[in-house]
Amino acid sequence: MPESWVDSAERIGLDLHLALAGPGSRQAALTRALREAVSDGRLAPGTRLPPYRSLAADLGIARNTVASAYAELVAEGRFTARQGSGTRVADRAAPPKPVRVPVKAPARRPGPLHDLRQGQPDAASFPRTDWLAAARRAVGSAPNEAFGPGDPQGRTELRQALAAYLARVRGVRTLPDRIVICSGFAHALRLLFGGAGGSGRGVLRGPLAVEAYGLGFHRELLAQAGVTGVPLTVDERGARIEELADHRAVRAALLTPAHQFPTGGPLHSDRRAAAVDWARSRGGLLLEDDYDGEFRYDREPVGAVQGLDPERVVHLGSVSKSLSPALRLGWMVLPEHLVDRVLAVKGEREAWAGTLDQLTLAELITSGRYDRHVRRMRQRYRHRRDRLVAALAEHAPHIRVTGIAAGLHAVLRLPAGTEAAALKAAAWQGLALDGLGAFRHPQAAGPAPDGLVVGYATPPDHAYGAALEALCRALPPA
C-alpha cells in the first residue's frame, strides 16, 4: 500500500511547504524552491531536512530527484550532509540580517505614579496555582461534548456550583435551570435591555429606576439601548425606595443593595422590604447588582434581596472583583418566566463566556478553593482599608471616611467646593483617583456633596504606603 502524506509527516516530524513551479525540470523546480526557502529565512540555519523518500512522497516526485536537488545545494554550501545526522541547512546559509534604522518612539504621556481608582481587585493576588490545578482537573474530567459549541445558558457544572454557592453565601434561592451564564454585569444589562449585539430587542422595556450614584458606563449602555434612567435619591440608608411611587411608568429598578456604589453602606432592611413590595404591586422587577457582596468587614453579612422574592428579583453577579475582570465570567439568576426570553436573545451558541473557564470556575468553587481565596482576600483588603483609615486619622483627621464596612473602596467626604481642587492636587502628586461627582446621575436632584472615591485594592503592597502619603498631601487642609 503506498505511503500516505500523513504517515510521512508523522515520521519525519517536519512539514515543509514547497511550490514546484516555473520553467525547467522537476529537479530544477525543487532546487529553486529550496534555495528560496533558505534565502528568505523560512528554513533557518541548522534545520534538518526531510529524508529523500519522505519529501519525495509528499511532493509526488521521484526519490532520485530529491537526492539530486539536495546534492546541488550541498555543493553550493547551502546544505550540509553528514553520516548519521542527515541533511541540514548550513550555518553560513543564513540570510543577512537587515540593517535596523533607529526610529524615535512617539512620546507617551506618562501614567500615574499611584493608582487609587476604584473597581480593580489586587491583580497580583490572583490564585494562579489554584486556578491551574482546577483547570487541570476540570479539563481532565470534562465530557467530550464540553469541547463542542457552547450552551448559551452556560455549563451545567458551573450553574450547579453557583446555585449551591449563592444559596450558602448570599442567601439566593434558585435552581441551576434559573441561572444563565454571561460575561459580566455589562453583558447582562445588554441582554436584558439592548439585546444581543445591541440589537435593541432586549427582554425588558420602558424607563428604569436607578440610584442617583452609579457607573457612568452603565448609564451610557442603557442610553444606547433607548432606556431612560430615572434617578432615586441616595442617603445613608441607601436608595430612597419611596420615590418609586412618583414614577408610574417605571416597572423595573436597578439597585446595589449589599453595598451602594459608590457611596457605601447596605440598603436598609425597611427599604429592602419596600422595594420588593413595590415590585409585587407593579408587576415589576428589581435588578440586584451584587458586585462585591463577598467583601464585608465590620458588619454581619447582608443577604441578597433575591431571597425575599425570587420571582421579582434578577440577581446579577460576576468574578470581576473576587478573582479578576480578565476572566469575563458572570451570571444572571432569573425568575422562571424570564429564562427562555433571555436565552432567546442570547442566541443558539455561547459567544462570550469560554467553556473551559466555566469548567475551571466550577471546579474552583466545588473544591472549596474559591471560598479560601475570598477569605484570604477579605483579610488582605481589610488590612489595606485599615491602613487608609489610620493614615487619614494621622494626617487628615478633619476628613470623614464613609462606606468602609465592605467593598474595595472608601469615600472621603470633602468640604464643599473642594473636590475639583483636590483632584487637581492629586494629579500633581502623580495620583489617579475619582471624584464623587463623576458617579452622580446628571438628572439627580438635591445637593451634590464633594468627595473622593478611593480604591485601596489596586496598588501593589510595596507602593501602597507611598500612595497613601500622596493622597494625604492632596487633601484640602482643615
> What is the CATH number for 69?
1.10.10.10
User: Is there a single domain that holds both residue 232 and residue 159?
Assistant: yes
Look up the pTM and report it: 0.81
Cβ contacts of residue 199 below 8 Å, gap of 6+? none
Which residues on adjacent β-strands are paired with residue 432?
115
Residue 100 within any structural domain of the chain: no
**How far is CA 112 from each of CA 123, 325, 391, 425, 459, rounded to the nearest angstrom?**
17, 21, 21, 13, 11
pLDDT of residue 110: 63
For 286, the domain range is 127-368
| CA neighbor of 47 nearest in space, from 95, 105, 89 | 89
What per-residue confidence (pLDDT) applies to 10? 41
* Phi, psi angles (nearest 5°) of residue 239: -70, 140
464 domain-assigned: yes
Comparing C-alpha atoms, which of 310, 292, 312 is closest to residue 302? 292
Q: Could you report the per-residue pLDDT of 38-64, keeping only the tens digit for each? A: 888 888 898 888 888 888 888 889 999
Beta bridge partner(s), residue 211: 232
**What residues contact 368, with CB distance under 8 A and at least 6 apart?**
none
End-to-end CA distance of the chain: 93
Are 352 and 238 in the same domain? yes
| Confidence at residue 326, expressed as pLDDT on a 0 to 100 scale | 94
Q: How many independent structural domains does the chain possess?
A: 3
Same domain, 195 and 136: yes
Tell me whether residue 99 is in a domain.
Answer: no
Residues of the chain with pLDDT under 70: 1-14, 92-110, 195-201
Are 320 and 454 members of one domain? no
What are the DSSP calls for 97-146, one per residue? PPPPPP-PPPP-----SEE--SS---GGG--HHHHHHHHHHHHHH--GGG
Q: pLDDT per residue over 420-470, tens digit each? A: 999 999 999 999 999 999 999 999 988 899 999 999 998 988 999 999 999
Angstrom distance (rounded) from CA 148 to CA 151: 9
Question: Is 287 in a helix, a strand, or coil?
Answer: strand
Residue 382, pLDDT score: 95
| φ/ψ (deg, to 5) at 69 | -65, -45
Confirm if 99 and 114 have CB atoms less than 8 A apart. no
- Claim to verify: residue 52 and residue 25 sit in the same structural domain: yes
The answer to whether residue 182 is domain-embedded is yes
State whether 248 and 210 are in the same domain: yes
- pLDDT for the residue numbered 5: 38
Record the cell numbers describing residue 134, joined without a space.
482546577
Residue 172 located in a structural domain:
yes
